[in-house]
Amino acid sequence: MKIKVKLLFAVILAIPLYLTFLALQTDIAQAIDEHEADHKLMESSPEHETYEVKVPESKLAEVKALKNAVASNNNTLSEAKAVYGGKGTCFNCHGEKGKGDGELASSFDPRPRNFTMPAWQKLRTDGEIFYVITNGTDHGMPGFGDMLSDEEKWSLVNYIRDFGKHSGLASKK
């Protein structure tokens, strides 16, 4: 009789324990699935490309530290605007207002950068932007190497910064 009572208790205890175990196990499996799905989404979404570092690791520290050689004022911004919409051809892809919506934008994946995104503006130093204008990226941004002078490129960096502000020359039509 005593043995039977013990057995009964054991069964009563064991069932909820087993159920808890099962529940936990499916939770963990689900969490892992969700994590993997998030990861895949991040890798395939344009967001991922937007924030990915564009400068080779070996040059990153040096490039990040470069100082803009051109002051940002109405004069230099007007000059940059002329390059952006003229021989630089930037507007064809990045759009007149820098929103990444130029005429050719839809043929690129990732899309040409939208310069009005605050998170992107914060992430990049002037040096990194200068580097990309000079060398391009592996994903569609052409390098302008010798086509533009260093002065023009630094002015474009200021102009791109201006797109990130809500006032200023670039956002005015």
Residues that bind ligand HEC (CB under 6 A): 49, 54, 88-90, 92-94, 104, 108, 110, 112-113, 124, 128-129, 132-133, 137, 139-142, 144, 156, 160
Contacts of 94 (CB under 8 A, 6+ apart): 84, 100, 102, 105, 112, 113, 114, 115
Smallest gap, in angstroms, from Cβ of residue 71 to ligand HEC?
Answer: 18
- Count of CB atoms within 10 A of residue 153's CB? 24
User: For ligand HEC, which is the closer residue by CB, 31 or 53?
Assistant: 53
User: For ligand HEC, which is the closer residue by CB, 41 or 123?
Assistant: 123
CA distance 148 to 152: 6
Smallest gap, in angstroms, from Cβ of residue 50 to ligand HEC?
Answer: 6
Smallest gap, in angstroms, from Cβ of residue 165 to ligand HEC?
Answer: 16
Burial label for 112, CB within 10 Å (0-12, 13-18, 19+), is buried
User: For ligand HEC, which is the closer residue by CB, 40 or 48?
Assistant: 48
Smallest gap, in angstroms, from Cβ of residue 30 to ligand HEC?
Answer: 33
CA distance 113 to 136: 12
Q: 44 is written with which tokens?
A: 């395939």
User: For ligand HEC, which is the closer residue by CB, 34 or 103?
Assistant: 103
